[in-house]
Amino acid sequence: MNLLERFLAFSEAKRFRVYAIAAACVALIGWLDWFVVNVSLGFLYIVPMLLASATLRAPQILLFATACGVLRELFGPLHHQPGAIGRTLIGVAGFALAGFFVSELNRKRKLVTRHLEEREEQMLLRRQAEEQLRAVIDTSPLAILTLDSSGRVLLANESAQQVLGFQEPLEGKQIQPYLPILNRFLTMQHPTSSLRTAVETRGQRPNGEVFLANIWLSTYAAGNGPQLAACIWDASENLRDREGTGLNSMMATSRVLIGAVSHEIRNLAAAALSAYHGLASVPGMDQVEHFRALGTIISGLERIAESGLKLSSHDRAAVANLGMVLDEARVVIEPTFRDAGITIDWQFAEGLPLVQGDHHSLLQVLLNLARNSEQALESSAHKSLTVAAGLENDLVVVRFRDTGPGISNPGDLFKPFQPGAHSAGLGLYISRAVVRSYGGDLFLEPQSSGACFALQLWPAEEENEQPGD
């Protein structure tokens, strides 16, 4: 800060002290001008004018300049000479111009100072935002990368080094050998356009290890060409868990289906065996070759049924969070129903207990019931589905109630391979078999209009009170 800026700042802070100094200067100059003969000292009035004008307003500056101009003429050696008015006006104009110059100079100084303070505040806020953003990037569990137009890494956090298997910093390295899909997004877009998308692709680490990468990326234009920002997540473990869980769920459902089919086969084999024994009482029937072959076939069917029942008898103690299962079903069901113009009313009681059942198997049962309701509502004028869940008589009951045309043949509803059914007609048959394998039940409740499927499940705490199958 130079001397002038210091003075202007002092005038702003100590204005009354400056006014007193200026007044004293005016008095001193007037006294000297009065006593000094034949020499005019009136030009010195510009000194108090410059001192005081920094904080004066325009009318005050004009008034002060007028006072100085009048004093200059009164105490000057020419005050008796003609032209006093002209000399006074010239003096007032000179003093006023000097005062306005100092006032404007101080105003500009305050504007510059305010502008500098705002810039410093903005720089501080920007620096704080950059620090916060850097902290978010550095501590993020997601791998975050930015690439230039050639595919070189501009910025990478610690998670990016871990995901890609690098010990040293990634900045300056080509991403092509490890995530080649990112280079394709850089080259396929025009520099002035931007892209925001998510992809699932294969990634490779420097040691040759392959992993599944879920990438959220966006492109943006920079001065030297298009650039790309990407958030990367290693989904390999999630894939293994998902596929393992899916396999276990499929095997569990398969065992239930095998058991249900084996039960039907055993019933048919028992009926056929009864008829076989009845025919065996006919004289000479045991000598017929085809009759003996029929007995062998019936015995084979019995053994197949017994094997299937033994396979399905390996029961697994499973506990599911029904609230979570319903939430996942809601996420899957709602978009499809919304596109079909069907309204869904979800009515879940508070504090639903854990239930006996496999999470994924129960989810498939709920999705099958929802799909049946969607198909039933295709031709309805009023398309509405209500899904309610609550605790009734120590059982957890989930109801799917729709406004469709209803069920014309409820007696054949849960039988497999029904004529006219969608797919193979096994959906409800398998769903009920799955629910019954955990001690629950699935049945159709009578309604005056529409259809209502009720799913009964045992709370996990009531494990020892299940009814027999």
Task: Check residues 38 and 220 and name the one with the higher pLDDT.
Answer: 220
- Identity of the highest mean pLDDT range in 157-166, 301-310, 410-419: 157-166
Q: Which range among 16-20, 290-294, 333-337, 341-345 shows the weakest confidence by mean pLDDT? A: 290-294
Give residue 388's pLDDT. 93
pLDDT at 269 over 80: no
Mean pLDDT computed over 220-230? 84
3 state SS for 393-430? CCEEEEEEEECCCCCCCHHHCCCCCCCCCCCCCCHHHH
Tokens, residue 162: 């871990």
Count Cβ atoms within 10 A of the Cβ of residue 166 and give its class: 0-12 exposed, 13-18 middle, 19 or more buried.
middle
Count other C-beta atoms under 10 Å from residue 353's C-beta.
16
Whether residue 463 is predicted with pLDDT greater than 50 in this model: the reply is no
Give the pLDDT score at 44.
83
Q: What is the mean pLDDT of the chain?
A: 81
**Range with the poorest average pLDDT among 19-33, 69-83, 331-345:** 69-83
pLDDT in tens, 15-63: 788 888 888 888 888 888 777 767 777 788 888 888 888 778 888 888 8
Residue 156 β-bridge partners: 145
User: Packing angle between helix 84-139 and helix 3-13, nearest 10 degrees?
Assistant: 100
Whether residue 312 has pLDDT greater than 60 = no
What mean pLDDT comes out for the span 332-357? 90
By DSSP bridging, strand 210-222 and strand 395-402 are unpaired
Q: Does residue 335 have a pLDDT over 50?
A: yes
DSSP tag of 39: -
pLDDT at 440 over 50: yes
- 345 close to 387: Cβ distance less than 8 angstroms: yes
More confident residue, 99 or 146: 146
CA 22/CA 234 separation, integer angstroms: 77
Written in H, E and C, the secondary structure of 343-409 is: EEEEEECCCCCEEECCHHHHHHHHHHHHHHHHHHCCCCCCCEEEEEEEEECCEEEEEEEECCCCCCC
Rg (alpha carbons) of the chain, rounded to whole number? 47
Q: Give percent of the chain above pLDDT 70.
A: 84
Comparing C-alpha atoms, which of 199, 197, 157, 161 is closest to residue 178? Answer: 161
Q: Are 457 and 387 in contact (CB under 8 A)?
A: no
Cα–Cα distance for residue pair 176/187, rounded to 1 Å? 12
What is the spatial distance between Cα 259 and Cα 437, in angstroms, rounded to a whole number?
9
Q: 193 Cβ partners below 8 Å, 6+ apart?
A: 219, 221
Q: Is the pLDDT of residue 309 over 70?
A: no
Among the ranges given (94-98, 258-262, 344-348), the one the predictor scored with the smallest mean pLDDT:
258-262
For residues 184-190, average pLDDT: 74
Between 311 and 453, where is the model more confident?
Answer: 453
Give the H/E segment covering residue 305: helix 289-312
Whether the pLDDT of residue 396 is over 90: the answer is: yes
Residues whose CB falls within 8 Å of the CB of residue 19, separated by 6 or more in sequence, listed in order: 52
For the cut 70, the answer to whether the pLDDT of residue 191 exceeds it is no
pLDDT for position 136 = 84
- The H or E element containing residue 91 is helix 84-139
pLDDT at 2 exceeding the cut of 70: no
Instruction: Give 194-201's long-range contacts (Cβ < 8 A, gap of 24+).
Output: 194/218, 194/219, 194/220, 194/221, 195/219, 200/235
- What pLDDT, on the 0 to 100 scale, is given for residue 242? 66
Mean pLDDT of 427-439: 83
Q: Does the pLDDT value for residue 406 go beyond 80? A: yes
Calculate the CA dihedral of residues 328, 333, 338, 344 and round it to 10 degrees: -80
End-to-end CA separation in angstroms for the chain: 94
For residue 86, pLDDT over 70 is answered with: yes
pLDDT value for 394? 87
For 281-300, the pLDDT digits (tens) are 777 776 777 777 777 787 77
- Give me the pLDDT at residue 255, please: 66
Reduced to 3 DSSP states, what percent helix, strand and coil does the chain have, rounded to the nearest 5?
A: 55, 20, 25
pLDDT band at residue 270 under the 50/70/90 scheme:
confident
Distances (CA, A) of 24 to 28, 42, 88: 6, 15, 22
Whether pLDDT at 398 is above 90:
yes
The answer to whether 439 and 466 are in contact (CB under 8 A) is yes
Pair of tokens at residue 346: 């979800």
* pTM confidence score: 0.54
Return the minimum-mean-pLDDT range out of 234-238, 275-279, 448-452: 275-279
Residue 386 binned pLDDT confidence (cut-offs 50, 70, 90): very high
